Amino acid sequence: MTKRGLIQGELGGLLERGLSRRAFLAFCGAMTALLALPPRYVPRVAAAVSGAPKIPLIWLRGSGCGGDGEALLRTTGPGAVSLLLESLSVDYLEILMASAGEAASDLRAATIAAAPNGYLAVIEGAISNADDGYRHTVGGRPFRDVAREVSAGASGVIAVGSCAFDGGLAAAGGGSIGAGGVGEVVAGRPFISLPGCPVNAANLAATIVHFLTFGELPPADGRGRPLFAYGSLIHNQCERRPHFEFGEFVEDWGDEGAQKGWCLYKMGCKGPEAYANCPTVRYDEGASWPIGSGQVCIACTMPGFWDSMGPAFRRLPPLAPFLPWLTADVAGQVIVGGTAGLAVAHGTASIVRAGVRRRRAARARLAEEAPETAPVAPPVAEPEAPPVVAPTEPAPEGTPVEFEPETAELEPPAEPELEAPEPVPPPDSEDA
């Protein structure tokens, strides 16, 4: 194909793809499948998505990297542009909108005041609380006030990305803006969280499609994460799982195992503790996902993952059995019920969360007392809330063959490494 020929076909094609009905229907089909709805829902989804009147959308950018809006622009199918421009009225989106300054703020206010059927609010980034919220201002006001105002009138609020979920990076150890999740500013409105760093745009699109089709946000777990996307453990869906069962691991970057696509567990993969649909939906219309590209999962959909799941390349201690039916909610209930082993093994337990809160509070105190000289606590696991302890029950049948030898590296639950640069070699007594 000549260069000229390529560009002729290409530019026309690019334009057409953004506009065509066929691409739009394909998008609706993909969304229906992602939401685990039967194919007969496709016409209903298509009708709802292309229906009038358009629902206004206000997209706010909190204290984050802006990567979630970028994810939407980069990675959803051609239908994303249709969804944005044809199905929704994108009234406020700082990265694209024509107006600026007060005119932009006025548009936002007008949408809040005027929308007869309500509007959808999507918020990325964390809520900044330090200095009364003045570490993040928009139009001369704290961002959190704007977020509160926009949330209050919304018929649905979607928090996208890990920072909007629970503060994310800004809330990690050493953070100083008193970062919290968007949930802090949403009171009494339908609310859902789509953690991930960045959010998988397919999940965001599906959530919006669900909202347009059924007039409500999809069912969610106790932390507000929709079950269609965050209901299953990554490890249980992973394409490399058979290698885990057969004890075939990547031992060094680029080694034989890496070339053969073996399990990344020993390199620090957090797939066994993270809930998300990355292995099945993947990114960019199924092009790839981190483990598919040879890198470990960093559990970016989990609460406080930079600290609770980090360091990224520290290998997980052996876990409780992987139970396919276990959801983040069940794990949470179990820990409340006192069966610590199961729940903490999944890192979602409220006790961990509480530990993170305590730690943050302690840091905030430290920071207030001695802002300049306070040493930053190393971002390691919390003594009073160890992320992982040994299973309390004997492993059931089907326990991976590689499990037994692994226990040699089980870490003492009560003393996670604090200052040591690397995990302390575990005492032998920890053998199960």
Residues 361-400 within binding reach of other proteins (CB under 8 A): 371-372, 376-379
Residues 6+ apart with CB under 8 A from 205: 27, 31, 72, 76, 79, 80, 83
CA dihedral in degrees (19, 24, 26, 27; nearest 10)?
A: 110
Q: Nearest approach, Cβ of 183 to other proteins (angstroms)?
A: 19
421 touches other proteins (CB under 8 A): yes
**Residues between 168 and 187 with contacts to other proteins, criterion CB under 8 A:** 168-170, 172-177, 179
Closer residue to other proteins (CB): 291 or 320: 291
Q: Which residues pair with 288 in a beta bridge?
A: 283
Q: Nearest approach, Cβ of 40 to other proteins (angstroms)?
A: 26
φ, ψ of residue 144 to 5 degrees: the values are -65, -30
Instruction: Supply the DSSP symbol for 64.
Output: S
Q: Nearest approach, Cβ of 384 to other proteins (angstroms)?
A: 19
**Residues between 136 and 155 with contacts to other proteins, criterion CB under 8 A:** 136-141, 143
Taking residue 70's Cβ as centre, other Cβ atoms within 10 Å add up to 14
Given 26, 153, 236, 248, the residue binding other proteins (CB under 8 A) = 248
From 67-75, 203-211, 218-226, 392-400, give the range in contact with other proteins by CB under 8 A.
Answer: 67-75
- Apex CA 281: angle with CA 94 and CA 343, to 5°? 95
Q: Nearest approach, Cβ of 340 to other proteins (angstroms)?
A: 27
**Residues between 35 and 64 with contacts to other proteins, criterion CB under 8 A:** 54, 56, 61, 63-64
Helix, strand, or coil (residue 61): strand
**Residues between 298 and 357 with contacts to other proteins, criterion CB under 8 A:** 298, 306, 310-314
Q: Nearest approach, Cβ of 338 to other proteins (angstroms)?
A: 33
The token duo for 139 is 């139009």
Helices 42-49 + 21-34 axis angle, to 10: 120
Report whether 267 contacts 312 (CB < 8 A).
no
**Residues between 260 and 299 with contacts to other proteins, criterion CB under 8 A:** 260-262, 283-285, 287-296, 298
Q: Nearest approach, Cβ of 309 to other proteins (angstroms)?
A: 11
**Residues between 177 and 236 with contacts to other proteins, criterion CB under 8 A:** 177, 179, 197-198, 200
Closer residue to other proteins (CB): 64 or 303: 64
Closer residue to other proteins (CB): 264 or 335: 264
Closer residue to other proteins (CB): 154 or 197: 197
Closer residue to other proteins (CB): 186 or 298: 298
401 touches other proteins (CB under 8 A): no
**Residues between 92 and 131 with contacts to other proteins, criterion CB under 8 A:** 93-107, 111, 128, 131
Edge-first strand listing for the sheet containing 88-93 = 88-93, 55-61, 120-124, 156-160, 191-194
Instruction: Supply the DSSP symbol for 87.
Output: I
Total site size for other proteins, rule CB under 8 A? 124
Helices 328-337 + 350-369 axis angle, to 10: 80
- Rounded Cα distance between 184 and 165, Å, is 10
